[in-house]
Structure 1
Amino acid sequence: MTAAAAIGRIAEALEGGQPLDPEDARAVLDGIRAGSVDQALGLSRTRERNEIIRRGIARFLKNESAPADRFEQLLTRYASGAWLRGERELSECPRRNVDKIEECLWRVLKLRDRCLTARQIRRILDI
C-alpha cells in the first residue's frame, strides 16, 4: 500500500462523512503525534515555501525594482510551461535548473502546486 493510496482512502472517507478504517485512523493519529501541529496541518510546508521564495528573490532578483511582481510573473510562466510539460512529475529538480531561479520556482511548486500573487509574495517578503 502506498502513502498516496492511504491518503486517498482517508480523503474519500472524510469527504463522504464515513468513519476511518481503524488502521488509517491510527496512522493519522501517529502522524499528528510524531510531528507538530504545523506539520499535521501542512504549515511547515508553507514556511519552507516562503523561505525558498525569500532566498530566491534575495539571490536572483535583488536588483529588480519590483521583485514580488517579477517573481509572480516568472512563477506563472514556469507553472504554465515546463511545470505542466512534465517537470511536476519529477522527484528532483532538473539539472538544467539547478542554481537558477527556475530551481526556486520548481521547489515552490513542488511544495504547493499553486501560483502566488505579487500581493501574497510581498506579504511573505514583509514589504
Structure 2
Amino acid sequence: MTDWTPDMLDSGKPRYQAIADAIAGDIRSGRLADGMRLPPQRRLAAALGIDFTTVSRAYAEAQARGHVESHVGRGTYVKGRVATDRPDPSRSAEADLSMNMPPEPQDPELRRRMQEGLGYVS
C-alpha cells in the first residue's frame, strides 16, 4: 500500500473533484503506477483533515473516470494510464447521419392508411 496523499491545490473545485483530479495527475506524472493500492478512505480523510464521505465520493469519481478500481474488503487500486486522446472504441466508427429513413411498414393496411394520410398518389 502506498502512503499517497494528493497535493491539494485550491482549484476552486469541490474537494472530491480536486482529489480525483490529483489521482489523474499523479497517474500521468508516474507518481501513481498501475496496480498501486491507494490508502483506505478513512486514513486519507484523516490525513487531509476532511470528511470520510468526501474521500469516498472522490474515489467513486476517479473510478467513474476509469483511473481506479475498487474491491470491497481489498481496497482501491490504480488502473494505470488512461489515454484521454484515444477515441472510445465503441464509437470508433463514425455514424452516417446523412439519411435517417424509417423501415418500410410490412402491414398492407398500415401502408394504405399512411399513404392515404399523406395524400399519396401513385
Whether TM exceeds 0.5 here: the answer is no
TM-score under structure 1 normalisation? 0.24
Instruction: Say which one has the larger Rg.
Output: 2
Structure scoring higher RCO (CA < 8 A, sep ≥ 6) equals 1
TM-score under structure 2 normalisation? 0.25
- Structure in which a larger fraction of residues adopt helix: 1
